[in-house]
Structure 1
Amino acid sequence: MKKRLLFTLITVLFLSSFILFEKYNQNNLFITYEADLNEKEVKLYWKNENDINYKSLQALKDWLHNKDEELIFATNAGMYKKDNSPQGLFIENFETKAQIDTLKGNGNFYLKPNGIFYITNKNEAKIHTTENFEINKNIKYATQSGPMLLINDNIHPAFKKGSKNLNIRNGVGVLKNGKVVFVMSKNEINFYDFANYFKKLGCENALYLDGFVSRTYLPEKKWIQTDGNFGVIIGITNK
């Protein structure tokens, strides 16, 4: 009996230590932020009312501050062209401001399947591959990027375990409970491991946003990056 109790105690201690180690390890590898769209205002920003591109997270933060709104999270929302215009589909407040890109090409954006992150008029966050996406009047915000990280719970088939293609990366996923989760790697990481982290979080679909240019603003976790020279930005405030 004593041996059995001792074995059980050792097992519990081991599992507890492992869980704490995993949590500590993940906290040191990633900046992760979950948002309930019924509690937080998740929007995509490109230009202000004067048709001036925000470009940096600081500019968006200042603009919101002038409107008595507090930015609680921000990150770049996908790839962009040299003039800081969105690469691929961009919908803002139900208005399509950049058309969907279904062409073939080089680079991460065109590593098919790529995909679209969007928010509906019912505050539902969704991610679909570009080929399975249909524009409709109920889409309030949308941004296209690529490649997909997870497609229906499967890691993108082009990603290789142990790949030496390392980079800073940020992405977005949707959890089974409907919450949206944003992740940025603190250090360089390959696509496979980055996608696998979204899988561990419980996402079925996740989309890569961008690489080494990425920035994330999350003061509650003491992660404050406010620079950048972006196209579209994801910004979150309280409702």
Structure 2
Amino acid sequence: MKRLIALAAFLPLSACGEQPAGEPVVRTEIGSGVAEKAAAPSPTPTPTSSVASACESVTFEGAALTHCLADPATHRITTKLGPTGGAPYRSLTKLAADRSDDAPKVAFAMNGGMYDGEGKPIGYYVENGDRLKELNRADGPGNFHMKPNGVFFGTGGKWQIRTADDFYTNVGERPDFGTQSGPMLVIDGELHPEISENGPSKAIRNGVGIDAKGRAHFVISEGPVSFGIIARYFRDVLETPDALFLDGSVSALWDPATDRLDNRAPIGPMIVVEHKDEP
């Protein structure tokens, strides 16, 4: 398939802007009737590397999406918040600039979980085996608390998505990486019960799902879409039994193979997919 990736641009909502330190950034709830501002498309980048991109452009129900595939046979997944002992990067651009020449090559990276006004995760977060934030099972407003929410986590080449309650009950060992977000998009092959077919809330959105082969599928929309569209793409096309919403309006992708590096609104935790070996 010809891999052409449109650069998704977006405008931050006032609800997604900087908040007082420690206060969670609230996202618009599913079906609230509040539509996020539309984002203008950006120019399409051209491939700049001899390495094939792990991402491809697709169309589903009339919506332009970018689908990136991480395979445990060839990739490893890590989470990244900021430099060791430092404040969160808040952008993929700063993450890219801080990568050393001898670091593993990045296949792609996305924002990966909701955060407070300082860019720190509001839910479970593990980086390099260190737990920086405990599991959050509290009630509250916004998409994060549209239960069930869930955790994307893994150790080595085994990657999983579980609802927060399932994770709390059944996961005893700390994973190498983990990030909590919400809501779940697909749960055991069924859509989240509160996701409507094509609700009024539209935003650039991204999510992750795990297929039966253990591969991680990352999807980001190239324009504002409903929760229903992105959830059905995971269920019906990618056939991921479980999929997790990562965020909306601030969603961003770094794809080095095509020189795509989204940089619009401040973000928090990031999911980095690396090549296991030098290509």
Settle same-fold status: TM greater than 0.5: yes
The equivalent position to 1:43 in structure 2, one of 64, 70, 78, is: 78
The corresponding residue for 2:97 is 62
Q: What residue number does 2:6 align with?
A: none
| Residue in structure 1 matched with residue 110 of structure 2 by the alignment | 75
| Cα distance in 2, alignment partners of residues 143 and 182 from structure 1 | 14
% identical aligned pairs: 30
1:93-132 → structure 2 map (5 Å cutoff): 93-120=128-155, 122-132=156-166
Q: Does 1:187 align with 2:200?
A: no
Q: 1:186 corresponds to which letter in structure 2?
A: E
Cross-structure match for 1:158? 194
The aligned counterpart of 1:234 is 271
Note the C-alpha offset of 1:218: 1.8
Query: What SS does the corresponding residue of 1:203 show, helix, strand or coil?
Result: coil
SS at match of 1:53: coil
With over 3 angstroms needed to count, the CA separation of the structure-2 counterparts of 1:63 and 1:222, relative to structure 1, is closer
Amino acid at match of 1:44: T
Q: Structure 2 unaligned segments of length 5 or more: list them.
A: 1-56
Assess if the C-alpha contact under 8 Å between 1:109 and 1:147 holds in 2. Answer: yes
Distance 1:218 1:154 in 2: 30
**Could you say which residue in structure 1 is the equivalent of 2:8?**
none
Aligned pair count reads 216
* Matching residue's letter, 2:213: N
Confirm whether residue 141 of structure 1 aligns to residue 170 of structure 2. Answer: no
- What is the CA–CA distance in structure 2 between the aligned matches of 1:49 and 1:78, rounded to whole Å? 19
- Give the alignment's Cα RMSD to 1 decimal: 1.9
Kindly indicate whether the alpha-carbon contact (under 8 Å) linking 1:115 and 1:146 is maintained by their aligned counterparts in 2. Answer: yes
Structure 1 counterpart of 2:9: none
CA-to-partner distance for each residue in 1:104-152, whole Å, 9 max, x for gaps? Answer: 01100000010000012x4211000001113433511110000000000
Please report how far the alpha carbon of residue 157 of structure 1 lies from its aligned counterpart in structure 2 after TM superposition: 0.6
Cα deviation for residue 166 of structure 1 reads 1.1
Kindly indicate whether the alpha-carbon contact (under 8 Å) linking 1:57 and 1:228 is maintained by their aligned counterparts in 2. Answer: no
Structure-2 residue corresponding to 1:206: 243
How far, CA to CA, are the matches of 1:155 and 1:211 in structure 2? 18
Deviation at 1:24, TM superposition (A): 5.5
Contact 1:61 1:70 in 2 (8 A): no
CA contact (8 A) 1:217 1:226 kept: no
2:266 is aligned with 1:224: no
For residues 259 and 120 of structure 2, what CA distance do their matches in structure 1 show?
30
TM-score, normalization by structure 2: 0.72
TM-score by length of 1: 0.84
Structure 1: state its 5+ residue gaps: 1-22
Pairwise CA distance, 1:57: 0.5
